[in-house]
Chain A
Amino acid sequence: MGEFWEVFQRHLPEFRSGFYITCRLVAMSFVIAMGVGTIIAAFRVAPARALQRIGTVYVEFFRNIPLLVLIFIFFFGFPEVFNIGPWVAGTLALGLYTSAYIAETLRSGVFAVGKGQIDASLSLGFTYRQTLQKVVLPQSFRTVIPPLGNLIIAMIKNSAILGASALAIPDLLKTGRITAALTANAHASFFWAALGYLILTVTATFIVRHLEKRLAIRR
């Protein structure tokens, strides 16, 4: 146990910076995923058939191919056209990968509000804008938050792939590997890195569970 503690004390700054980098990767990718996901969700519910089709193909492609393949495509694929750095390639890959799931979540959130409710509020004399504001969006929001939280948990875990692949971003996992090589103590350094990941994912799980209960719509 003493060795574990020693590794922690000596390499705390590295672990801390790895922890922040993992958080930053997740945050940046989430922004990309939300932006693109919203656009694709709009495509999926658009009245034009062609747009719907584009949305469907996008979603099915990005969510069914491995994240590692996406990373390779962005990082190695365009050396002559635009040479993008590991951060851009990594967050773009993780962001676009997750955007497909986000698009589906948002789309199902819109459809979660029954058409009957919209008809009812319109016939009660609400304007279209009021209907959206007071009836549709509050309910969509409540149905969408728990699955979005789930996707963030998945992103935290997937972000480790960025650090492990050829991108060599010094995130929590990479820090664990470097420390393992420096101290020749794989168990201790991976233990502390694992603790970092567990802090993130377990906290997020608790928040999602809590929100799921609080936001549940009783029908």
Chain B
Amino acid sequence: MMDYLFAPDRWEWLFSGNSFRFLLDGLIVNIELALIAMALSLTIGLLLALARIAKNPVIKGPAGIWIDVWRNLPLIFILLYLALSLPASWKQAYQDAAPTWLPEAFQNGRILAAVVGLTLYNSAVIAEIMRAGIQSLERGQGEAAAALGLPYWKSMRLIILPQGLRRMVPATVSQLITLNKDTTLISILSIQEVMRHGRILGSCLPFTCGVEVPLLQVFLVVGTMFAILNYGLSRLSKRLEIKQRQTTGIEVEKVTGLEDQVALDTDTK
């Protein structure tokens, strides 16, 4: 068993040719996708959160249902559904419109389902995180703003959001860990990223590559790459959470049903 894991000839591939570089190129696609999806999710998530805490029930109700449906479905389910049901004409339109300076994986129409799916799921999660942050503010803040004569939107913009959103920074960083891991799911939509690159490497035969490339070792390397990246993020979110609690003295409620939010919660206790 030990031999199977650590025998030097099973690791030789890592240092020969461009293998490691090839995996790293794949990982960069994942990171880029995570950042794009995060940027979109933050924007849309904020709008959804505002809709959910609105006073008007016609806005509040549908926003609540929308958020609860998308965040309670498995992400891979959403991705596969979109891959199947997005009209081919949209994908074509995207492919035609995509500028050539984009990385190769992002020029393919298939990426559209990936970006939309990741954003649908994560914007719902982020909306819940933001809502928790905003609602953790004492009601007195909003009432004081109203008493000073500030209209709703002005008090939102100047008083509530700056304080509420600061409280959700640690939870958002935690969600970025989940998002990073989730980007590997797009390999199921056959988009060229790190998992696909791993499979390609692993299918390499000794007489073409010169060395044996065992899948076990390939995916151990891929896993370690993610572990290092996400470990850094989890340390960061833990530190931010502790700092946030020290300054405000308040523990923001964590969103249910997400493993990395549970981790953030237990890490800092």
Residues of A in contact (CB 8 Å), total 56
Query: Which residues of the partner chain B approach A173 to less than 8 Å between Cβ atoms?
Result: 74, 76-77, 80
A101-B263, A154-B257, A201-B257 given; A76·B181 CB < 8 A: no
Q: Does A7 contact B (CB under 8 A)?
A: no
Q: Which of A65, A149, A156 has the most CB of B within 10 A?
A: A65
Interface string of A131-174 (1 = CB under 8 A from B): 00000000000000001011101101111110011000000010
Chain B residues with CB below 8 A from A156, complex form = 74
Q: Which of the listed residues B69, B81, B85, B222 has the most CB atoms from chain A within 10 Å of its own CB?
A: B81
* A208-B256 CB under 8 A given contacts A73-B219, A151-B262: yes
**B19 is an interface residue with CB less than 8 A from chain A:** no
Contact check: which of A104, A158, A202 meets B263 at CB < 8 Å?
A: A104
A105 within 8 A of B: yes
Q: Of B44-52, B54-62, B88-96, B227-235, which stretch is located at the interface?
A: B227-235
Q: List B residues at the A interface (Cβ < 8 Å).
A: 1, 4, 68-69, 72-77, 80-81, 84-85, 177, 180-182, 184-185, 187-188, 195, 198, 202, 214-216, 219-220, 222-224, 226-227, 229-231, 234, 254, 256-263, 265-267, 269
Taking Cβ atoms with an 8 Å cutoff, the residues of A that contact B are 60-61, 63-70, 72-73, 76-78, 80-81, 98, 101, 104-105, 107-108, 111-112, 147, 149-151, 153-154, 156-161, 164-165, 173, 176-177, 180, 186-187, 190, 193-194, 197-198, 201-202, 204-205, 208-209
CB-CB < 8 A to A78: which residues of B?
A: 4, 216
Q: Which residues of A contact B182 (CB under 8 A)?
A: 66
Q: Which 9 A-B pairs have the closest CB atoms?
A: A77-B216, A160-B74, A153-B257, A64-B230, A108-B266, A66-B181, A65-B223, A201-B72, A157-B74
Which single member of B69, B198, B258 contacts A154 (CB below 8 Å)?
Answer: B258
Do A76 and B259 touch (CB < 8 A)? no
The answer to whether B72 and A98 have CB atoms under 8 Å apart is no
Beyond A101-B262, A201-B257, list 13 extra A-B contacts (CB 8 Å): A65-B181, A68-B187, A72-B195, A76-B216, A78-B4, A78-B216, A104-B267, A105-B266, A112-B269, A157-B75, A193-B77, A198-B69, A205-B257
Q: A72-B219, A160-B76 are in contact. Are A65 and B227 (CB under 8 A)?
A: yes
Q: What are the residues of chain B within 8 A of A68 when measuring CB–CB?
A: 184-185, 187, 195
Distance (whole angstroms) from the CB of B127 to the closest CB of chain A: 15
Bound-complex Cα distance A61 to B222 (A): 12
Contact B80 A164 (CB under 8 A): yes
Q: Are B227 and A186 in contact (CB under 8 A)?
A: no
Q: Are B215 and A72 in contact (CB under 8 A)?
A: yes
| With contact pairs A157-B73, A173-B77, A202-B72 given, residues A186 and B84 touching in the complex (Cβ less than 8 Å) | yes
Interface of A is mostly: helix
A-B contact count (CB 8 A): 161
Separation of A17 and B229 alpha carbons in the complex (Å)? 39
* List of A residues within 8 angstroms of B1 by Cβ: 81
- How far is B68's CA from A159's CA once the two chains are assembled, in angstroms? 19
Q: Which of A80, A150, A165, A177 contacts B262 (CB 8 A)?
A: A150
- B187 CB → nearest A CB, Å: 7
B230: which A residues are within 8 A, CB to CB? 64-65
In the complex, A70 Cα to B234 Cα: how many Å?
A: 19
Closest to B214 in A: A77
**Which residue from chain A places its CB closest to the CB of B254 in the assembled complex?**
A150
Nearest chain B residue, comparing its CB with the CB of A191: B81
Could you tell me if A66 and B184 are in contact, using CB atoms closer than 8 angstroms?
yes
| Alpha-carbon separation in the docked complex, A66 to B25 (Å) | 17
Q: How far is the CA of A86 from the CA of B240 in the complex (A)?
A: 40
Tell me the bound Cα distance from A200 to B73 in angstroms: 10
Bound CA–CA A114/B267 (angstroms): 17
